[in-house]
Amino acid sequence: MCGIVGYTGNLNAIRVGLEALKRLEYRGYDSSGVAYLDKEKNIQVIKSQGKIRKLEEKIDKINPYSNTAIFHTRWATHGEPSDINAHPHIDCKKILALVHNGIIENYREIKENLKDNHKFISKTDTEVLAHFLEENLNKEKLETKNILKALKLLVESVKGSYALNIIFKDLDKTIFFARKDSPLCIGIGEDENFLASDVTAFLPYTKKVIFLDDFEIGYLTPQKIYIYHVKTGKEFLLESGKIIKNTLNKKIENIPWDVSQAQKGGFKHFMLKEIFEQPKALEDTFLGQKEVLENLVERLKLPSLIVFSACGTSYHASLIGKIYLEKFSNLPCICEYASELRYSKFPYPKDALFIFISQSGETADTLAALREAKKRGFKTLAITNVLGSTISREADYVLYTYAGPEISVASTKAFSTQVLSLYSLAYYLGKKNGLNLNYKSHFSKVFTLIEKLRNFLENSENLKNIQEISKWLASFKNTLYIGRYYNYPLALEGALKLKEISYIHAEGYAAGEMKHGPIALIDENFPVIALATKDSYLEKLKGNIEEIKARKGKVVILSDEENLKSYGDFFIKVDYLEDLTCLLNILPLQLLAYYTADFLGYDVDQPRNLAKSVTVE
């Protein structure tokens, strides 16, 4: 959940790191902090509750300079948001400072063992790690070999998840690290190096990156990167741009993202920018996957069952994927929340294929479910947006989306590119399964889809209409979204978007289930968003709308059928494109949520209590 940054080089680490941290604020924003080495090589710490701008104000007052610093932006787990609980944390003697993303499960036990000799200040689980290292370095000289020995002991003793950046008194231009179950990567620069939770932190400086794996520890200086795997004893050493040792088989990846993709580009919020980027993201994904999909499906053995597993928005994408794969590849599918599947007994046929979907590729529950599936011998396929992410490295097969960096907490273009990926996968699997599909005809619809999306976004009347509906919607406390077939997962996703960023209670429901409970809630104060695009279920959905109106319910109708205008209080016109209509429908739902939250004056990109990547259970 949290964002961490480390920098060592010839520039002012305070200013470089602060800007990098701002690019990670979507990962956590209830407090932030920095630790750095001053001119005497002593550790100094500045922390602040609230947004990063509060930390920046404190930094501006003293304007410190250092070549080595570590930063943190927090999403609270243990201990309420406060200056004291903010990271970095230090030990009793101030010989070290560290920042942490993750959860230490046995911190109480560690704390109990250390309490007689150490004074604890915060309520966090993280602080015990600083005292643990202090305890194990107490009689040792602060040298690299001794610190690595203490870090190895930490990895062997600590239970839970962690990505750690650590600096030590007197050790100038050196940052140590450790990683397990929380993302951490190294950015390789010229006479400077970075550590961060996400590559977006250091994109303006370098696109060269090494992704760290579980149980890896090490350190970096401006000219050197050393990585050691605690379980295997294998090593990696890069010095002055040359790989000296690599028994770990580490790869230096080149990130294809452009710096401008991680900036707002004139839009008020990242979410609005990312909604408008969807036509380009879909085009890049479709073209970028073509050859990959052909090779992937050729290698895959057709399974007797496909099990989708994901969380949140990615789970909603999998529900649409289930429809696609059953329709176009004739393969039975089920969808499971990763947070539930990870505890399952996995009673599936041995040849089942598990498809795990995660924008970040670091979602804790999805990763845990993938590992359980692999442990039981199942084949796994990951669909993710982040090159080199943990899920992409651990799955048997990987299919990347090409959405570019998604900064807003509320996912938009990641969802669309996931759905399109599943549409394409369904066709390739159908072809392998011997179904008579008109490949060229169906895939030409993708470019029609992209054109229709662009047209919708360029039509000012469409945007004005949605803005007016949003102002009306903002006055209610509850909302119901209904749909059938493809539109049922969209109802779930539309409701999720609204509740995430506007804090209006919203519920997505299968329209056929209306009479099994939700209709009891309908009155003039409970508006309904009805997804009523043309399909074989439209007449039944019209019946649902009539039932709502009979109970004085207010209805917003999203449809390609002009004659449905008279059925509702508001009408959003969309185009129809057969099986890809769902990707046309999602656009106004995302805009509806965005404009409602913006009208209410909320922080759209960083909604309360949420963070972009859920890297802890």
Distance separating alpha carbons of residues 80 and 122, to the nearest angstrom: 10
Select which of 47, 173, 250, 612 is catalytic. 612
Distance separating alpha carbons of residues 559 and 576, to the nearest angstrom: 8
Distance separating alpha carbons of residues 71 and 46, to the nearest angstrom: 10
* 275 close to 590: Cβ distance less than 8 angstroms: yes
3-state DSSP assignment of residue 106: coil
For 82-115, letters b (16+ CB in 10 Å) and e give beebbbbbbbbeebbbbbbbbbbeebeebbeebe
3-state DSSP assignment of residue 211: strand
Select which of 2, 311, 333, 582 is catalytic. 2
* 541 close to 514: Cβ distance less than 8 angstroms: no
* 352 close to 307: Cβ distance less than 8 angstroms: yes
Give every CB contact of residue 9 below 8 A, 6+ residues apart in sequence. Answer: 16, 67, 173, 189, 191, 192, 193, 222
Structure tokens at 81: 């948001």
Structure tokens at 490: 């969209």
Q: Does residue 405 have a cis peptide bond before it, meaning omega lies within 30 degrees of 0?
A: no
Mark whether 612 is an active-site residue: yes
Rg (CA), the chain: 25
Distance separating alpha carbons of residues 63 and 55, to the nearest angstrom: 12
Q: Which residue has the tokens 């002991």?
A: 153
Please give the distance of CA 20 from its chain centroid, rounded to a whole number: 18
Distance separating alpha carbons of residues 279 and 281, to the nearest angstrom: 6
Residue 105 is which amino acid? E
3-state DSSP assignment of residue 95: coil
Structure tokens at 571: 């009408």
Maximal CA-CA distance, the chain: 81
Q: Which residue has the tokens 């990951």?
A: 382
Structure tokens at 181: 């179950």
Distance separating alpha carbons of residues 210 and 199, to the nearest angstrom: 10
Residue 239's CB: how many other CB atoms inside 10 A? 13
Mark whether 431 is an active-site residue: no
Strand 528-531 and strand 478-483: pairing? parallel
* 431 close to 439: Cβ distance less than 8 angstroms: yes
Distance separating alpha carbons of residues 127 and 162, to the nearest angstrom: 13
Distance separating alpha carbons of residues 514 and 508, to the nearest angstrom: 11
CA distances from 457 to 453, 454, 460 (A): 6, 5, 7
- Dihedral, CA atoms, 269, 274, 277, 282, nearest 10 degrees? 180
- Residue among 86, 78, 24 at smallest CA distance from 58: 86
DSSP string over 57-87: HHHHHH----SEEEEEEE--SSS-SSTTTSS
Question: Catalytic site residues?
Answer: 2, 612
